[in-house]
Amino acid sequence: MRHAETDWNRERRYQGWHDTPLSEAGRAQADAAGRRLADQRLAAVWSSPLRRARETATAVAAPHGLDVRVEHAFGEMGFGQWEGLTVDEVRAKFPGPHRAWQETPHEVAPPGAETLAEVRARVLEGLAGLRAAHDEQTVCLVSHGITSRVLILEALGLGLDRIWSIQVSPTGISELEFRDDWAVVHRMNSLVHLERLTAAG
């Protein structure tokens, strides 16, 4: 699951490693996601160390009486000089790098940022640890836009050049099954739990 909404999400700012909290709407989304997964048999709830992910994970873990396990490998991609800037500001200040990031994200990185290959390496190391700790079990991992996409691409057997082919919304739930010789995506970016919030809004 991607974390719930922050004010920076709504403002279309690059968050990266900035430790932004959930917005009021985000807290409602996280609670809705927690209710959606309350009937699932979860062995554990894992989270990125960033506050927006931990707050979302806490809402998921609470109905199960679980503590949140924090793993740095699942933190968001560091966006370097772009962090805190809106998409429009980045497009104006860094037109060339921004265009390349949109067109060939696997070949470039924002100034001072991680590369997608570096993000993939640490995410897969984290995935190996998660699988070793929970073989044959179901867990919930709360992560971020880029790191969630990396995991979905891995399950689909697709390369990092396809990262923009996948939509990952705040509290979008994707169900991935990893085994030693294969992986499968059972569902992707499910937002059924937000329907009541949308109707109420």
- pLDDT tens digit sequence for 123-182: 999 999 999 999 999 999 999 999 999 999 999 999 999 999 999 999 999 999 999 999
Does some domain include residue 180? yes
Does some domain include residue 68? yes
How many whole angstroms separate alpha carbon 47 and alpha carbon 56?
A: 9
pLDDT at residue 118 above 90? yes
Domain total in the chain: 1
Active site residues: 3, 144
Does some domain include residue 48? yes
User: What's the half-sphere exposure (Cβ side, CA atoms, 13 Å) at 39?
Assistant: 2
Does some domain include residue 81? yes
Does some domain include residue 84? yes
Token readout for 165 is: 């082919």
Domain interval for residue 65: 7-200
3-class DSSP state of 13: strand
| Dihedrals phi, psi of 49, to nearest 5 degrees | -75, -10
How many whole angstroms separate alpha carbon 23 and alpha carbon 39?
A: 26
Does some domain include residue 1? no
Residues in the chain: 201
Does some domain include residue 175? yes
pLDDT of residue 196: 80
Does some domain include residue 2? no
Q: pTM of the prediction?
A: 0.95
CATH number, position 117? 3.40.50.1240
